[in-house]
Structure formats: C-alpha cells, structure tokens
Structure 1
Amino acid sequence: MKCAIVTGGSRGIGKAICLKIAEEHQYHLLINYHSNEKAALETLQEVRALGGTGEILKFDVANADEVQKVLTDWTEKNKEAIVEVVVNNAGITSDGLFMWMTQKDWSSVINTSLNGFYNVTQFFINQLLRNRYGRIVNIVSVSGLKGTPGQTNYSAAKAGIIGATKALAQEIAKRNVTVNAVAPGFIETEMTDDLDKKELVKLIPANRFGKAEEVADLVSFLVSKKSSYITGEVININGGIYS
C-alpha cells in the first residue's frame, strides 16, 4: 500500500490537496488533523466519494512526542505500507506587530510550521531514502519570501522552511527524493475570511484571490513522477503579487 500524508489536511488548502491527490493519484491518504475531527471526517468522506482511500490521524505536528507516538502506532499496524509522499501543510497564524508580540504568539507559530515540518519529515525520511523514491512538498507563503508586516513570526517560520527545503533537497537528491516548497499568496480559505478583500485585490495583478484547488493542482504535479527533475525549488502561486 503506497501512502501520502497531508498535515493539516482537514480544511482549506490541506483539504484541497487531499482531494486532488485522491482524484489524480493512487495513494492511500493519511489525513492529519489537530482539533476538528468533524472536518477531517468530511474530507475523508469526499476522498472516498472520488474513489480514493484514506484514514484520519489526530496529532499536533508541533508536539514531537505525539507525532512520534501516533505515527509509530500507525506504522506498526500497517507494516506493508510505504509512505512515498509527505505534504507539510499544517500552519497557524497569530498576527500582530512585533513590538507587542508575546512569547506564546512567537513560539506557537514557529513550533507548528517549522518544528512541525521537522517532526513529521524526520519520522519518514529514512523510509523515503531506503525506498529510493519520495516526494516532500512544504506549503510555505509569500510572507516567507518577502516578509509581511504584522506577521514577523509567520514570515520567520515560513522562511525557515524555505531554507530547510533547499538544504534537504541537496542532501537527498541522489536517492530520487525531491523536496520542494509551494508559496501561495492570497488564497480564499478560512484563514483569509477576515481580510479586507476589496483593498487587497488592488495589490494583486491577477485582480483576484487564488483558489485552494489551484494550489492543490500545483502540489499534485510536484508529488507526481513528472516532477522528478525539480527539487529545492520554491514555486510561487500568487497572481503576480510578488514576481
């Protein structure tokens, strides 16, 4: 059984990625979620409706012990399973000006995005290398490339993953394991519901917010065999806002 894991897979971009992988690839999906079991089950139902298979896995990517325990339990119960695809999508925001940013606001965002990438990828890396095939895709952000005021913590976390993507890609390219990052701009999800869209659209050359499905299309290509000579890249998907 060949598998793909998507962290933060129950909603928004993560959900769209799960559905696109179910539609276009033959992977058994591991849909990770942290708190919203109802949304995770709905995503699983939609995956099955598309003819895919999957299951939900509850853990907080920022909690190293929990990640280790849940994934070890799953691996022991599924000894024949091979995880070929790791999509690190889980992330949170806790916006505010740096001068008023609390230690908690800083740490929680860094822990979820950056340490979450480490905790999940580190668990699967040996298997990917042993099998001499794999695809790691990290969902970052335009904030990690250009920095966004009011998001020093989020920009730092995503920039950190961008650096890790480039370094890890060089370490493991010989084993036919690629590592790439996808950097969305403004995408219509729950995370952007509270933003002033009318004002922000004026900044976007494409004159609209992107759709989660458009990000998922790009990720689907990167987890396919067609992308085998692309590694260490950060691919922008932002309607021209940062080009």
Structure 2
Amino acid sequence: MSKFDLPRRLVAEGLGTALLVATVVGSGIMAQSLTQDSALALLGNTLPTGAILVVLIAIFGPISGAHFNPAVSIIFALSRRLSVGDCIWYVLSQFGGGIAGTVTAHLMFGLAPLALSTHSRTGAALWFSEGVATFGLLATILAGLRFERASVPWLVGLYITAAYWFTASTSFANPAVAVARSLTDTFSGISPVNLPGFIVAELLGAVAAMALMTWLLRPQSDTNPLSAEAKS
C-alpha cells in the first residue's frame, strides 16, 4: 500500500504519463528532423523512450506504482492490487497526462498544440503485435515485482527498447499513449480510426499475461505422495 494519498498518486500518474508521451512524440519529431533514414529515426525514437521509462518508474514508482498505462492499472485492479475506484482515477489521469504530453512536445517544436494523425497503422499483423507487446510488458512487470522489484525500472525500460524493434507495431503497449499519439501528425502518430484495434489488442494481451503469470508465479505446494509418506 502506498504511503501517499490519492491526489498525490494521481499527479504522479498524470505527470509521468505526460513526460513519457512528451519523450515519445518529441524524440520522434527530433529524429525525423535530423535524418531521412527511417531506421535511424526509429532508433532515435527508441532510445529516449526506454531511457525515460527507467527514470520515471524509479522516481514515481514509490508514489503511485508508476503505471502510466491503463492496461497496467486495470490488471492491478483485477488482481486486487488496486481498488476499482482508484483504478478509474488512475486511468483518467493517464489519458489526461498523455494528451498533455503531446501538447508539450508540439509546443517545444513550434507546432500547433494538437493535430489529428494521418499515419495509418492497421491490420491483423499490427494488432497481433500490440497484443504480444502488451503481453510481454505485463509479464515483465508482474515477474519483476515478484522476483526483482528493485530492477523493475530497468526491466521495463529495456523491454520497451527491445519491443520497439521486434514488434511490427513498434510496441505502443499502452492505450493512453496510443490515444495521445493519435493527436500528433508526426513520426510517432497513429490515425484515430486505427485506435480501436490497437486498444482492444493491448487489453487482450494484458489479460492474457495476467492469466498466465498468475499461474506461472504461484509456488507449487508439495503434493508428492512419496514426500508425504516420508514425513509420516
């Protein structure tokens, strides 16, 4: 249980999500302005995103848990690590923070505060990629909390850095970030009409991760009849 009250936790979630999105969108704008090579631009978008996740989770984790992601908050609510009421507020803060992050990135680069994206990202392969990306993210978080709690900032940052490159969708893995990225017509954008497929895939991937990891991380009780006989 966090020692911080709900208002402080919500500010941490909103601010953290805003800084995450500002990094994703801002580094995408910067990368695209520096090179026409799409691989280099993606690398320029990937490294800052992974790095900022390490920082944000390390500094805000003790306050709010550093979810910055509705899929994470929903899974924590389903597994009773977070109350339903708090989860609703977390999700609202994350969406609001994500939009603020897009506005911040645009203003830093002299763009209009918001602009609907025209970047089409759709199709079964991309939806499947988002499911895989979110599955892996939640598996990393849940196993990290179980075995390497102090390493979770690095585990998540490194996972997202890798997932940018091994998934066809470049691993949004976050409904709040997806919505925020629909409001930028820059390198990292996604057309608003493509959001439903991404968000459904992300939530399904998160639920699948919770189901598998709940089983996988539960220690097995000693039911070996030979052991029972030996103890008798």
Tell me the TM-score normalised to structure 2 length: 0.33
The structure, 1 or 2, with the larger RCO (C-alpha pairs under 8 Å, 6+ apart) is 2
If you compute each CA radius of gyration, which structure gives the higher value, 1 or 2? 2
- Choose between structure 1 and 2: higher helix proportion: 2
- Choose between structure 1 and 2: higher strand proportion: 1
Tell me the TM-score normalised to structure 1 length: 0.32
